Amino acid sequence: MKIVIVSDIHGNYDALSALPESYDELWVLGDLVNYGPEPKEVVDFVKDKATLVVRGNHDQSIGYGDDPRCSRRFREMAEATRRFSSAKLTAEKPYLRSLPLQTIAARSESRFFLCHATPSDPLYEYRAADSEKWADDCVQLSADVIFVGHTHIPFVRSFDRQILVNPGSLGQPKTGKPDACYAVWENGRIELRSYAYPVAKTIDKIRLMPIGEGIQRDLIRVLESGGLPPE
């Protein structure tokens, strides 16, 4: 059985639709929306294709009108694009509200736990890959594999018989390059993967968004550089 795991799509339909992978199931670790130019197209794709989906802080923000609690360097971008995304997703807000904060699944004799941020704070906590707190969280879960997202930085860690995986961000990677990131679980093996997609096409769409030029510029720099916007 082959499962593709993606996270943090952020309205980037060009990255999502370019996914070069066949799969038996698609799992999505939240943040379908905001920042990117095509949130509705992303939600429609996920509703049609994904088997498991959990709610991220930006899904929460659009669905409930909440503060997504972004880091300082993303706060202005999040607020400007939240208004855009909210207007585009009027009919989709009940779906975003319906997404669970976490879910557990069993496949091929393996048990999986899925959430967006961390098991103890599924929506908001930013936690570094090397944090010692992961071991405390994981040991309390009756799962063989724990999938998390939120930081946009891919990693794999092992704790005794448990594996912790962050697939990185499909739509707004922070790896120092623009390639979309994801993970594959197949017959008990985990692999982090990435691929190039037509970033220039997404950038053209960002330039048409009804947001300030400075916000557009920062969003474009994030996609082009695979990193944080300038100070």
Residue range 16-70, pLDDT digits in tens:
999 999 999 999 999 999 999 999 999 999 999 999 999 999 999 999 999 999 9
Predicted confidence at residue 231, as pLDDT, reads 63
Residue-averaged pLDDT of the chain: 96
Amino acid sitting at position 89: L
pLDDT of 209 > 80? The answer is: yes
Comparing 71 with 175, the larger pLDDT belongs to 175
Give the predicted TM-score (pTM) of the model: 0.96
Cα dihedral across residues 89, 92, 96, 97: positive or negative: positive
Predicted confidence at residue 20, as pLDDT, reads 97
Residue 102 sits at the vertex; the CA angle it makes with 142 and 130, to the nearest 5 degrees, is 70
- Residue 145: pLDDT band with limits 50, 70, 90: very high
Can you list the domains of the chain with their CATH numbers?
Answer: 2-106+169-225 (3.60.21.10)
